[in-house]
Structures are given as structure tokens and as C-alpha cells.
A = this chain, B = another copy of it.
Amino acid sequence: MPNQLFNSNTTRADSVFTDLRTRIVEGEITPSSKLSEPELAKYYQISRSTLRDALSRIEACGLVERKANIGYRVVALSTEGLLELFQVRESLEGMACRLAAQNMSENQIVQLNELLNIHQQDEPLQRGQGYIQQEGDLDFHYQIVMGSGNKQLIRLLCEELYYLVRMYRYQFGMPSPRAKRAFNEHQNIIQAITDKDGELAEILMRRHIAASRLNVEKRMNVNE
């Protein structure tokens, strides 16, 4: 359907992979819904082979699941799954933050501070409105993970879990009351990184993510 999708220098499977991933993350393709290979292949006007190529990569991101002889299905979202995701992030990003404090170059630290300045001047973001705040938040976490220099961490977080995180945010929304507080926590984390205090940086990051998780847990209990 989207016509000018294959005009780059990448493969067709690559383009479809990227597009499909976005449509799943943003909820255009509903969670838990079945994916029909013939249907999708027709939609993108490609063969089932290249579609399957794209789908297998999306499966590696954890966005779809596959059963033999049954096919692909978008993952199901649940509050339990969201909490599990927070726990994994708490441990992984905590470690990433520790390593970032040890390994980030001066230049990278400057860039991180600049990102925070942008966030500070952005009014709606400060109020935690809209999904801009969410993306801004992920940018921050993203840069720290990249700064860790650990390829496994980068792969697990930036190429897998973060897509699921964004998917949850599109579907469940973001706890806005924490926006202002979250910004302050970001500031403290950067301070620890600037001081090259890896131990503290890890603790602060873990608390930062745990606070978000507890916020969700609180909302959970209210709504049941």
C-alpha cells in the first residue's frame, strides 16, 4: 500500500521490517492480533518469502510470536508483562548507567547535558504532556545505554526491549504525574555520571525506573 517504500538502497525485507515494526509499536496493528502472511504480503506487494524474512526479524525484537504451523501473532500486552519489563530494565539500565559513568567520553557527557537542557526548556514536556515527553525520556535512556559501550547491553535494550517499551506506552499511556520528578531524577543521574561515580549512577537509575514501576503498580491496584 505505501507506495514509495522501496526507494532506498536497502533490501525490500528491510524496508518492510522497519515499517511493520512501526505499525505494531504504534498500535495500528493491534496487540494479540493474528498476522496473515498472504494478507500482509499482498499489502506490501511482496512475496511471502521476503515478508517472512521481515517477520522473523520482528520476532527477534519480541514484538510478535510464532507457533509452528499456526503463524505469527502480535504479542499480548498485560500489566504483568509491563511490570516484568520494568524489572528487566531496572537491572540492565542500572548496569548500563554504571558503565556509562565509567566509560562515557567528555563529548558524550556534554551531549547528554545538552539533551537535558532541551528538555528543561520544553514547556509541555516539563508538564509531561503528550507522547513527546515519552520520546524525550527514551532519548535520555538511549544515550546512556549507548554511552555504556557494552554491545550486548546496546543490542538488548536499544534493538529489542525499547520497542516493546514504546509499544506499551502507546497502548497504556504514560504516568504523567511523574514527569517533573522524573526530570529531576535525570539531572541527578547525569551529575553522578559527570562525577564518574558509577556506583551511585547505577543506584539512581535503578530507583528512577523502580519509581515508574511502583507508579504503575499503584494504578493497577486502584483499577481492580
Which residues of A does B touch, CB under 8 Å?
10-11, 14, 49, 52-53, 56-57, 59-60, 62, 68-69, 81, 84-85, 87-88, 90-92, 94-95, 99, 150-153, 155-156, 161
Contacts of A91 in B (CB 8 A): 91-92, 94-95
Q: Is the interface of A mostly helix, strand, loop or mixed?
A: helix
13 residue pairs of the A-B complex, CB under 8 angstroms, read A11-B68, A49-B49, A81-B152, A84-B151, A84-B152, A85-B152, A87-B152, A87-B153, A88-B150, A88-B153, A91-B91, A91-B95, A92-B92
Q: Known contacts being A60-B59, A62-B155, is A95 close to B90, with CB within 8 Å?
A: yes
Indicate how many identical chains form the complex: 2
Contacts of A85 in B (CB 8 A): 152
Question: A84 contacts which of B49, B60, B153 (Cβ < 8 Å)?
Answer: B153
Q: How far is the CB of A117 from chain B (nearest CB, A)?
A: 29
Q: How far is the CB of A78 from chain B (nearest CB, A)?
A: 10
The answer to whether A150 touches B56 (Cβ under 8 A) is no
Contacts of A153 in B (CB 8 A): 84, 87-88
Q: Known contacts being A52-B53, A59-B60, A68-B14, is A99 close to B81, with CB within 8 Å?
A: no
Q: How far is the CA of A72 from the CA of B161 in the complex (A)?
A: 24
Q: How far is the CB of A64 from chain B (nearest CB, A)?
A: 12
Q: Which of A53, A62, A151, A152 has the most CB of B within 10 A?
A: A152
Contacts of A151 in B (CB 8 A): 81, 84
In this complex, what residue of B is CB-closest to A94? B91
